[in-house]
């Protein structure tokens, strides 16, 4: 019988590996969608919908999965989830029509619900002082998006896009077997059987939960949206081939996923609120610069007309995107540290709600990005929209801080009276 510490490490490491594989599957249409788009002659909005459909189902299922994790335990729920995705993943390689891809993508997207299962499952194995770090390590499985950026283009180049879902289906089966063999269950981690579904859903009435959801729609929804979008953005904006574009896009995707573990540790040390404030302001500044489109400016001088080119080159663009990725990596950890601190007995259901809203952000954003490009013809409009979203988050954060300060002053005045 392994010791408690050995069980902790085993659960954390295998759950992180499983989430990495699930996340790689969840975003695979960001790569295979490009040749599918060409073969089916899809426009930008249709491509956005294709890439985002798995994100929708993976988001919608997060709330019930979080509730089931609280009730039945994370180990069995995680296993069933992985096994249920294997067949639809494999069938994607045999699809031929647009609606086939949408239907199968919806089924494949269930893999994205693994986050709300795993984050609750892992958190309960650790004490409060280490929960942020443990959840950050698990959340680093977001780097599965980078795995797809590295692996899928090579498979496409060597064997065609149809081979990617075949390989991923086999990987998912192997991962499910490893998960069941090396993880553990603790009955004390389940909520009392007397707790009803209605009582679990009371969290939906909590305004704090919705504030955290709004933050997460930026740091996670934005991360997923750009993970799906950036390969094609680099191809169209900077003229890169698919393999090179995917590699360069991983400069944003990989650090943002991996840094989440450090974000959890810093949130444990300095507080989730402080970290969240900083990442929103940093994101706001970078997105403002990224929003500026490529432009040629004609300036009339005393010697005649001078033309200036304004716009980011690929190096400056990628550097700013890298900073945004790091900020969002910290933010993903800090938001869930908030949840672990404020809702220790309802981590599953609250993480399900917050994860659902973040995932919906990842679903909606690629569609919005595509529609904005179709409407305006300006590719940087994607960053304009993210800048606007971040501005709203900052205003919400500042208004909340003002209300809390006012409440604190009233409490002090009442105590003195």
Predicted model pTM: 0.72
pLDDT (tens digit, 9 = 90+) per residue, 111-157?
988 988 888 888 888 877 777 778 888 877 877 877 888 899 899 98
Return the percentage of the chain with pLDDT > 70, whole number.
91
402 or 27, higher pLDDT: 27
Residue 159 pLDDT > 70: yes
259 or 330, higher pLDDT: 330
What does the alpha-carbon distance between residue 45 and residue 51 come to, in Å, rounded to a whole number? 10
pLDDT (tens digit, 9 = 90+) per residue, 76-120?
999 999 999 999 999 999 999 999 999 999 999 999 889 888 888
pLDDT for residue 201: 66
pLDDT (tens digit, 9 = 90+) per residue, 58-70?
888 888 888 888 7
pLDDT (tens digit, 9 = 90+) per residue, 311-320?
788 999 999 9
Residue 342 pLDDT > 60: yes
Q: Which of 84-93, 197-206, 265-274 has the lowest mean pLDDT?
A: 197-206
Residue 243 pLDDT > 70: yes
Residue 199 pLDDT > 70: no
| Average pLDDT estimate for 265-272 | 81
Residue 122 near residue 238 (C-beta atoms within 8 A): no
Residue 347 near residue 71 (C-beta atoms within 8 A): no
Number of helical H runs and strand E runs in the chain: 19, 2
296 or 408, higher pLDDT: 296
151 or 415, higher pLDDT: 151
What does the alpha-carbon distance between residue 301 and residue 290 come to, in Å, rounded to a whole number? 29
Burial 157-171 (b: 16+ CB within 10 A, else e): eeeebbebbbbbbeb
260 or 370, higher pLDDT: 370
List Cα–Cα distances, 281 to 233, 237, 248, 320, in angstroms. Answer: 25, 27, 25, 14
Residue 193 pLDDT > 80: no
176 or 302, higher pLDDT: 176
Q: Is 229 helix (H, G, I), strand (E, B) or coil?
A: helix
pLDDT (tens digit, 9 = 90+) per residue, 215-235?
888 888 888 888 878 888 899
- The conformational region for residue 41 under phi > 0 = left, psi -120 to 50 = alpha, else beta, is left
Angle made by CA atoms 49, 50, 51, in degrees to the nearest 5: 95
| Average pLDDT estimate for 185-214 | 71
pLDDT for residue 77: 93
pLDDT for residue 138: 87
Residue 353 near residue 115 (C-beta atoms within 8 A): no
- Counting every residue written for the chain, the total comes to 417
Name the nearest CA neighbour of 45 among 232, 221, 195, 216: 232
Q: Please identify, in words, the CATH class of the domain defined by 4-416.
A: mainly alpha
Contacts 24+ apart (CB under 8 A), 154-158: 154/243, 156/31, 156/32, 156/35, 156/242, 157/243
List Cα–Cα distances, 154 to 2, 235, 237, 370, in angstroms. Answer: 40, 16, 22, 26
Name the nearest CA neighbour of 387 among 293, 316, 266: 293
Q: Where are the domains of the chain?
A: 4-416
Distance of CA 209 to the CA centre of its chain: 18
pLDDT for residue 200: 63
What does the alpha-carbon distance between residue 155 and residue 38 come to, in Å, rounded to a whole number? 17
Residue 165 pLDDT > 90: yes
Specify the DSSP class assigned to residue 141: G
Q: Which of 22-26, 307-311, 313-317, 402-406 has the lowest mean pLDDT?
A: 402-406
Residue 256 pLDDT > 60: yes
Would you place residue 409 in the very low, low, confident or very high pLDDT band (cuts 50, 70, 90)? low
pLDDT for residue 175: 96
Residue 27 pLDDT > 90: no
Residue 27 near residue 256 (C-beta atoms within 8 A): no
In 109-220, alpha helices (H): 114-123, 128-139, 144-159, 163-182, 197-200, 207-219
Residue 345 pLDDT > 80: no
Q: What is the mean pLDDT of the chain?
A: 85
- In the structure encoding, which two tokens stand for residue 359, read together? 């995932």
pLDDT for residue 106: 94
Q: Which of 11-15, 188-192, 363-367, 397-401 has the lowest mean pLDDT?
A: 188-192
Angle made by CA atoms 246, 257, 61, in degrees to the nearest 5: 100
Q: Which helix (H) or strand (E) covers residue 285, if one does?
A: helix 272-290
List Cα–Cα distances, 413 to 100, 403, 408, 410, 417, in angstroms. Answer: 64, 15, 9, 5, 6
The tokens 């729920």 sit on which residue?
Answer: 77
Strand partners, 309: 296
Would you place residue 284 in the very low, low, confident or very high pLDDT band (cuts 50, 70, 90)? very high
Residue 415 pLDDT > 60: no
């Amino acid at each position: 019988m392994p010791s408690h510490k050995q069980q902790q490490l085993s659960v954390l490491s295998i759950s992180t590996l499983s989430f990495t594989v699930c996340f790689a599957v969840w975003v695979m249409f960001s790569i295979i969608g490009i040749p599918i788009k060409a073969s089916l002659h899809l426009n930008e909005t249709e491509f956005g919908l294709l890439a985002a459909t798995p994100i929708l189902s993976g988001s919608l299922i997060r709330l019930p999965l979080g509730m089931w994790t609280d009730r039945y335990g994370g180990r069995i729920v995680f296993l069933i989830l992985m096994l249920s995705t294997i067949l639809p993943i494999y069938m994607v390689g045999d699809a031929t029509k647009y609606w086939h891809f949408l239907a199968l993508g919806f089924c494949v997207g269930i893999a994205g619900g693994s986050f709300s299962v795993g984050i609750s499952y892992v958190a309960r194995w650790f004490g409060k002082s280490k929960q942020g770090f443990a959840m950050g390590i698990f959340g680093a499985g977001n780097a599965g998006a980078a795995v797809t950026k590295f692996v899928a283009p090579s498979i496409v180049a060597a064997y065609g896009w149809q081979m990617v879902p075949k390989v991923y289906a086999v990987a998912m089966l192997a991962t499910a077997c490893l998960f069941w063999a090396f993880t553990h269950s603790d009955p004390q981690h389940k909520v009392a059987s007397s707790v009803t579904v209605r009582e679990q859903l009371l969290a939906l009435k909590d305004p704090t939960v919705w504030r955290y959801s709004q933050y997460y729609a930026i740091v996670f929804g934005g991360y997923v949206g750009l993970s799906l979008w950036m390969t094609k953005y680099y191809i169209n904006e900077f003229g890169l081939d698919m393999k090179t574009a995917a590699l360069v896009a991983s400069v944003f995707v990989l650090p943002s996923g991996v840094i989440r573990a450090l974000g959890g540790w810093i949130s444990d040390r300095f507080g989730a609120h402080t970290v969240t404030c900083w990442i929103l302001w940093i994101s706001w500044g970078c997105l403002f610069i990224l929003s500026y489109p490529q432009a040629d400016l004609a300036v009339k001088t005393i010697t005649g007309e001078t033309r200036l080119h304004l716009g980011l080159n690929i190096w400056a663009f990628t550097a700013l995107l890298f900073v945004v990725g790091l900020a969002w990596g910290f933010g993903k950890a800090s938001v869930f540290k908030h949840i672990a601190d404020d809702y220790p007995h309802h981590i599953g259901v609250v993480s399900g709600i917050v994860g659902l809203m973040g995932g919906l952000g990842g679903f909606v954003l690629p569609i919005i990005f595509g529609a904005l490009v179709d409407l305006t013809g300006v590719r940087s409009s994607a960053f304009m929209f993210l800048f606007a979203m971040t501005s709203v988050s900052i205003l919400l954060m500042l208004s909340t801080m003002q209300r809390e300060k006012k409440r604190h002053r009233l409490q002090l005045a009442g105590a003195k009276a």
